[in-house]
């Protein structure tokens, strides 16, 4: 591990030199690439330097014990050694986690797609609850939310809502939300007080840059049509709505949220690029499916990942066996306890796989 850490520190120093090179400064692509690489390893390097300082202090303290010391001084040095050893163990554990290969998408913005599934109107209402939950969580993180497309129902829910969350590290915290979410509650439409079970699905896609997934114009079929509201009611008579079909993969995105055809096409392209990128990524990493499942799993969107039981104020994440009696807080966007537990489980699984 120490050899790997020294190699990371050497690379960091080399990047410092490169980022001061006028040739690199004038090359925006390389400057961005090297700056990101340096930023990605900065915490590892700082922690490693701290670890080396503590290790050196530990060696000095051990050497002091071999000298002639009075009993009080010897006791003080022993106490210091104990503290330094605890600090070293803590830093070693942190360094092991920092050395786990990072998901290249972790720092990206995300496109989230929430859809009502089984349960009719109640499923759509639950999809609305999930959207509000993620919106409030995003606000606590200082992230910006942009609704890209929605299909609302008359009762205040959504058959489907697609939104982008812009913020550093958004994907790293939200990627484990992929899957089927189940709710157990008495619907507002239920007069007899019976508990219904409904589901909504959540897809979390990392925003894809143009350089990461090349989509040629010739591979896209563009159809335009008039926007329509709930029940087929015409919203406008201009052909502002856009449907993009990526012919090689069959991926289809329709967008009618904006009054401008150009803006609808721009939004549709963002979603299309993210979906195609996600498709290629999953196909390319198919052989790692087993590892992904061990590390909590973010791929299978048909997998039931969580149950929200309103009568008992209980949330259960089935993947890690976590049950929390704070549904009233979680549905208001206080997701840290669940997200932190999922990240910790993922890190533990990756560490175990790295050791095997």
My answer on whether 311 and 203 are in the same domain is: yes
Of 262, 284, 306, which residue sits at a domain end?
A: 284
Can you tell me whether residue 274 is helix, strand or coil?
Answer: helix
Are both 11 and 51 inside the same structural domain? yes
In a domain, 131, yes or no: yes
pLDDT of residue 299: 44
Do 132 and 175 fall into the same domain? yes
Single residue among 64, 98, 132 that ends a domain in this structure: 98
Q: Please check whether residues 300 and 197 belong to one and the same domain.
A: yes
Q: Which of 284, 311, 341 is the last residue of a domain?
A: 284
**Tokens 């290969």 sit at which residue?**
101
Residues 6+ apart with CB under 8 A from 205: 110, 111, 112, 113, 274, 275, 277, 278
Q: What is the pLDDT along the chain (356 residues), one digit of tens a residue?
A: 788 888 889 999 999 999 999 999 998 888 988 988 898 889 899 999 999 999 999 999 888 888 878 888 888 888 999 999 999 999 998 898 888 777 788 888 999 999 998 878 889 999 999 999 999 999 999 999 999 888 888 778 899 999 999 998 899 999 999 999 999 988 776 667 788 889 999 999 988 876 567 788 888 898 888 766 544 444 555 677 888 999 888 888 888 877 788 888 888 888 888 888 888 777 766 654 544 444 454 444 557 899 999 999 999 999 999 999 999 999 999 999 999 999 988 888 777 766 55
Which residue range is the domain that position 33 belongs to? Answer: 2-98
Residues 15 and 89 in one domain: yes
Q: Which residue has the tokens 């008039």?
A: 226
Co-location of 15 and 65 in the same domain: yes
pLDDT of residue 212: 63
Whether residue 103 is contained in a domain is answered as no
Q: Output the pLDDT for position 66.
A: 82
Q: Residues 318, 177: one domain?
A: yes
**104 domain-assigned:** no
**DSSP-H helix ranges across 66-220:** 71-98, 120-141, 170-174
């Amino acid at each position: 591990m120490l050899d790997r850490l020294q190699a990371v520190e050497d690379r960091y120093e080399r990047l410092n030199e490169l980022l001061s090179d006028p040739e690199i400064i004038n090359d925006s692509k390389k400057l961005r690439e090297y700056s990101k690489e340096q930023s990605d390893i900065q915490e590892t390097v700082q922690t490693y330097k701290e670890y080396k300082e503590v290790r050196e202090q530990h060696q000095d303290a051990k050497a002091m014990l071999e000298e002639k010391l009075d009993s009080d001084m010897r006791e003080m040095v022993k106490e210091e050694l104990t503290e330094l050893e605890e600090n070293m163990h803590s830093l070693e554990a942190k360094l092991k986690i920092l050395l786990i290969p990072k998901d290249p998408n972790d720092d990206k913005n995300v496109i989230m797609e929430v859809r009502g599934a089984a349960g009719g109107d109640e499923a759509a209402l639950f999809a609305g609850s999930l959207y509000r939950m993620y919106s409030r969580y995003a606000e606590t993180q200082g992230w910006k939310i942009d609704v890209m497309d929605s299909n609302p129902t008359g009762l205040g829910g959504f058959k489907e809502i697609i939104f982008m969350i812009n913020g550093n590290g958004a994907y790293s915290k939200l990627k484990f939300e992929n899957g089927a979410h189940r709710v157990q509650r008495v619907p507002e439409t239920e007069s007899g007080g019976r508990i219904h079970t409904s589901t909504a699905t959540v897809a979390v896609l990392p925003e894809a840059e143009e350089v990461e997934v090349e989509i040629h114009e010739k591979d896209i079929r563009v159809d335009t049509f008039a926007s329509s509201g709930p029940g087929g009611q015409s919203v406008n008579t201009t052909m502002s709505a856009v449907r993009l079909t990526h012919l090689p993969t069959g991926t289809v995105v329709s967008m009618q949220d904006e009054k401008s055809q150009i803006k609808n096409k721009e939004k549709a392209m963002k979603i299309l690029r993210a979906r195609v990128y996600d498709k290629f990524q999953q196909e390319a990493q198919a052989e790692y499916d087993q590892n992904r499942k061990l590390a909590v799993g973010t791929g299978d969107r048909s997998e039931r990942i969580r149950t929200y039981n309103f009568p008992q104020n209980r949330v259960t994440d089935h993947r890690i066996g976590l049950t929390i009696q704070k549904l009233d807080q979680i549905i208001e966007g206080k997701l840290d306890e669940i997200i932190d537990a999922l990240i910790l489980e993922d890190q533990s699984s990756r560490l175990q796989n790295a050791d095997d």
